[in-house]
Amino acid sequence: MKIMLVEDNEAIIMGLEYLLSQEGYQVVTARNIAEASVILAKEECVLILLDIGLPDGDGFELCRKIKRQTQTPVIFLTAREEETDVVKGLDMGADDYIVKPFRNRELISRIRGVLRRSGKGNPVLRCGDIALNTETGRVTRCGEEISLTKLEYRILGSMMSCPGKLFTRDEILSDIWDISGNFVNDNTLSVTIKRLREKLGDNEGRFIRTVRGMGYRVEH
Ligand code: CA
* Per-residue model confidence (pLDDT) at position 45: 94
Q: Which amino acid is at 90?
A: L
Q: Which residue has better confidence, 164 or 63?
A: 63
Q: What is the pTM of this model?
A: 0.57
Between the two ends of the chain, the Cα-to-Cα distance in Å is 22
Q: Which residue has better confidence, 20 or 161?
A: 20
Compute, in angstroms, the gap from residue 115 CA to the centroid of ligand 1: 24
Residues 1-31 have pLDDT tens digits of 899 999 999 999 999 999 999 888 899 999 9
Compute, in angstroms, the gap from residue 9 CA to the centroid of ligand 1: 6
Compute, in angstroms, the gap from residue 77 CA to the centroid of ligand 1: 9
* Per-residue model confidence (pLDDT) at position 186: 85
d(CA 185, CA 183): 6
Compute, in angstroms, the gap from residue 174 CA to the centroid of ligand 1: 53
**Closest to 211 measured CA to CA, from 170, 177, 169, 173:** 169
Q: How many CB atoms lie within 10 A of CB 201?
A: 15
pLDDT at 101 exceeding the cut of 80: yes
Residues 193-213 have pLDDT tens digits of 999 999 999 999 999 999 999
